[in-house]
Amino acid sequence: MFALSGYDAFLGFLLISAAVPILALVTNKLLAPQSSAGERELTYESGMEPIGGAWIQFNIRYYMFALVFVIFDVETVFLYPWAVAFHKLGLLAFIEALIFIAILVVALAYAWRKGALEWS
């Protein structure tokens, strides 16, 4: 069922869409003035002279969200073929998907109870 037709256009359009930013940046390089910098190359940050850099260790609070995301993203990928072929599969496939989603809902409820979905 998986047809590979039409992907030559994908490759072609990938090249064309990659050419847009490259052309823009090259044109900018050719047209724009260039001066040796000094103060200008300081990190702008908030307008003040920055205190310390940003490449430090700190607590990224979105870490747990990223983990939960991986679970549910894989789930949606599994559900895509089910949805496309659903009209041929009927009631049995519906019950199977119901069980599959129920297991994941339990996982979501567990993550929720454990506080993985709390930001603070």
Q: Which residues bind other proteins (CB under 8 A)?
A: 2-10, 12-14, 16-18, 20-22, 24-25, 27-29, 31-35, 37, 40-46, 50, 53-55, 60, 62, 65-66, 68-69, 72-73, 76, 79-80, 83-84, 86-87, 90-91, 94, 97-98, 101, 105, 108, 112, 117-120
For residue 116, the minimal CB distance to other proteins (Å) is 9
Which CB sits closer to other proteins, 14 or 114? 14
Minimum distance of other proteins from residue 114's CB (angstroms): 13
Could you tell me the smallest distance in angstroms from the CB atom of residue 61 to other proteins?
Answer: 8
Three-class HEC string of the chain: CCCCCCHHHHHHHHHHHHHHHHHHHHHHHHHCCCCCCHHHHCCCCCCCCCCCCCCCCCCCCCHHHHHHHHHHHHHHHHHHHHHHCHHHHCHHHHHHHHHHHHHHHHHHHHHHHCCCCCCC
Instruction: Report in angstroms how near the CB of residue 10 gets to other proteins at its nearest.
Output: 6
* d(C-alpha 34, C-alpha 68), whole Å: 46
Q: Which residue has the tokens 């009927």?
A: 90
Give whichever of 65 and 110 is closer to other proteins, judged by the CB atom: 65
Q: Which is nearer to other proteins, 101 or 114 (CB)?
A: 101
